[in-house]
Structure 1
Amino acid sequence: MNILKEKELIPMIYKLDKKDYQKVRALLRTPEQKNDLMLNAIINGTNKGAIYVDNIEQPQTALVDETGVISIFIGDAANEKFIHPLREFIDNQLKIDTYESCGGTYFLALIPDENWEKVMKKVVSHREYEWDYEHYFQFNREKFNALKSGYKPLPKGYTIKKIDAEVINNDSDKIIFNVLDEFWYSVDDFLQQGLGYCVLKGDKIISACLTCCVNGKDHEISVETYDEEEMNKGLATLVCAAYLEHCMENGLTPHWSTLETNVESNRLGEKLGFEFKSKCKTLEFEF
């Protein structure tokens, strides 16, 4: 008996080198996948992520992972070379990779169709998990222009600034640096290809709106207010408005997506002139 050959037949999931990411482009088969902002941002090597496949040379199925944020399955959902080891891979290797890369402890995946839904029900049947939907919004500039006159004014003592090297270097708490580190390979990459604005109270960064993924002129928005005491003052709305004004002036297309259960994010997107376009089922659990 040839033990080596037996081992070679055991299905495995492999992590692609960044230089090989383009090999999975052929697995983008639907118009939605071919135009997906996050998928293209990672496959192009613009934004941080990892890609796992059944075969390094000729992948038939893949998991494209925006590490610590969300994962997307692409390719053949009936490919046992990928499906058979998937449970063990998620429970072990992906868990380790996610924690080591960003301290993440949750798995959240988009489930693109009924075939993948059936697969994942079996793969994670030993776990407690939750279903949700990712909502995708399209920017309506006319609606934004009509709504912005109703925004709260910026409170006294606060300023809004474009995020540049000076802002990042003067951020003693490294708030912006840490956020950028989740999505970008370097600060320089962000400064060259991304966009961001922040609200400052004195020298302290309170809230920020910035590009988390970019593909050409398409920019995905990430927004957060970092101090709970500063919430409900309209700061996130105003910093996003500055970001959106920049997009309109420079021919960029902003994108907004969020989970259906994130009521505040859905409400903020609509307040900024984004209109619901589509949704995709998601599955989530804690590792």
Structure 2
Amino acid sequence: MCVYLLGVVYVDQIVEPRTAIVYAVGSVYYLLGDPEDESFNSHLGDLISKQLNQESLDLCGGTWFCTTIFDANWKKTLEKVVDGRRYYVDYSVYYELDTVRFNIGLGQSRHVLDEDLAMVKITKELINADVNLREELTEYWSSAESFTRFGLGYALLKNDKVISTCYSCCVSGDCHEIYIATFDQNVRNRGLATILGQQYIKECLERGYGAYWSTDQSNEPSKRVAEKSGFDHSHRLMSFEFVF
């Protein structure tokens, strides 16, 4: 599993913790350890409603508690602390790259960019110059400097404005998780996500990085692009979310 560079860890005790919450800022909470730890669970509702709520708002403007669950017993614990809120249960699906299938698809690709589009590598200068790109990346990265040091990505430009991007949303060692965002709705369904993804994955492989993909089970467009790009379904995990 990949680890986000910008994060916060909460534990029940510093020495020999039994339970923990890991917050990947701007994305998701991970509940780890003993889901039946009453000394922790008895304070979990207040922790979510007060401290996590305010810190999420301060750090990234977040208003939702979204968690990925590794142990199904955590769902029972959360259902007890949602305090009447409406909650949603879904699944996140995870993919691993089949490099043979990717290279075959790369060789057979017929996608070409229109003349009014240009693909460029994401640099610190581009991040600072384009507000959409900057706001997108700071959902996952603490600064343009940290992104350009540890991550990589490409953007499509139209009239010098970023309209779509593919980048590392999280990195752990040589493992990079891919994320694609489109800012101009008029360019959807033109194969641009596939073009960006291929260029991004190609560089990952050239650098010896592992490329990974995850998305919501209900996100059919993302799943289709993943499969077209050479990714195979690996596993799924339950997600549990509600408004703070």
Alpha-carbon contact 1:151-1:234 (below 8 Å) kept: no
Alpha-carbon contact 1:151-1:237 (below 8 Å) kept: no
Equivalence for 2:159? 202
Alpha-carbon contact 1:136-1:277 (below 8 Å) kept: yes
Q: CA deviation at 1:206?
A: 0.7
1:176-209: per-residue Cα shift (whole Å, max 9, x none)?
Answer: 2222222222222211111111111121001111
Q: Taking every aligned residue pair, what percent have the same amino acid on both sides?
A: 38
Alpha-carbon contact 1:62-1:73 (below 8 Å) kept: yes
One-letter code of the match for 2:27?
V
Question: Is 2:133 aligned against 1:168?
Answer: no
Alpha-carbon contact 2:194-2:225 (below 8 Å) kept: yes
Q: CA deviation at 1:280?
A: 0.6
From 87, 98, 104, the counterpart of 2:62: 104
SS state at 1:153 partner: coil
Higher RCO (C-alpha under 8 Å, 6+ residues apart)? 2
Q: CA deviation at 1:163?
A: 0.9
SS state at 1:183 partner: coil
2:222 and 2:125 map into 1 onto residues whose CA distance is 29
1:49 and 1:179 map into 2 onto residues whose CA distance is 17
One-letter code of the match for 1:102?
C
Equivalence for 1:179? 136
2:37 and 2:110 map into 1 onto residues whose CA distance is 51
Q: CA deviation at 1:63?
A: 0.7
Alpha-carbon contact 2:27-2:140 (below 8 Å) kept: no
Quote the RMSD (CA, aligned, Å).
Answer: 1.5
The total of aligned residue pairs comes to 243
One-letter code of the match for 2:121?
K
2:242 and 2:46 map into 1 onto residues whose CA distance is 15
SS state at 1:85 partner: helix
Q: TM-score, normalised by structure 1?
A: 0.80
Would the alpha carbon gap of residues 83 and 186 (structure 1) be closer, same or farther in structure 2, given more than 3 Å must change?
same
From 191, 208, 213, the counterpart of 1:256: 213
Equivalence for 2:196? 239
Q: CA deviation at 1:118?
A: 1.8
From 103, 112, 123, the counterpart of 2:81: 123
SS state at 2:238 partner: strand
Equivalence for 2:97? 139
1:114 and 1:244 map into 2 onto residues whose CA distance is 33
1:253-278: per-residue Cα shift (whole Å, max 9, x none)?
Answer: 11100110111111111111111000
Equivalence for 1:69? 27
Equivalence for 1:188? 145
Q: TM-score, normalised by structure 2?
A: 0.94
From 158, 177, 197, the counterpart of 2:117: 158
Question: Any stretches of 5+ residues in structure 2 without a counterpart?
Answer: none
Alpha-carbon contact 1:208-1:225 (below 8 Å) kept: yes
Q: CA deviation at 1:49?
A: 1.2
Q: CA deviation at 1:89?
A: 1.4
2:110 and 2:239 map into 1 onto residues whose CA distance is 32
Query: Is the strand fraction higher in 1 or 2?
Result: 2
2:34 and 2:115 map into 1 onto residues whose CA distance is 56
Runs in 1 of length 4+ with deviation above 6 angstroms?
A: none
Q: CA deviation at 1:167?
A: 2.3
One-letter code of the match for 2:120?
K
One-letter code of the match for 1:79?
D
Question: Is 2:184 aligned against 1:227?
Answer: yes
Alpha-carbon contact 1:213-1:220 (below 8 Å) kept: yes
Q: CA deviation at 1:161?
A: 0.8
Q: CA deviation at 1:69?
A: 1.0
Bigger radius of gyration: 1
Equivalence for 2:174? 217
1:66 and 1:91 map into 2 onto residues whose CA distance is 18
1:249 and 1:51 map into 2 onto residues whose CA distance is 33
1:8-58: per-residue Cα shift (whole Å, max 9, x none)?
Answer: xxxxxxxxxxxxxxxxxxxxxxxxxxxx212xx4xxxxx111111212344
Q: CA deviation at 1:125?
A: 5.4
Question: Is 2:242 aligned against 1:277?
Answer: no
Alpha-carbon contact 2:85-2:243 (below 8 Å) kept: no
One-letter code of the match for 2:207?
N
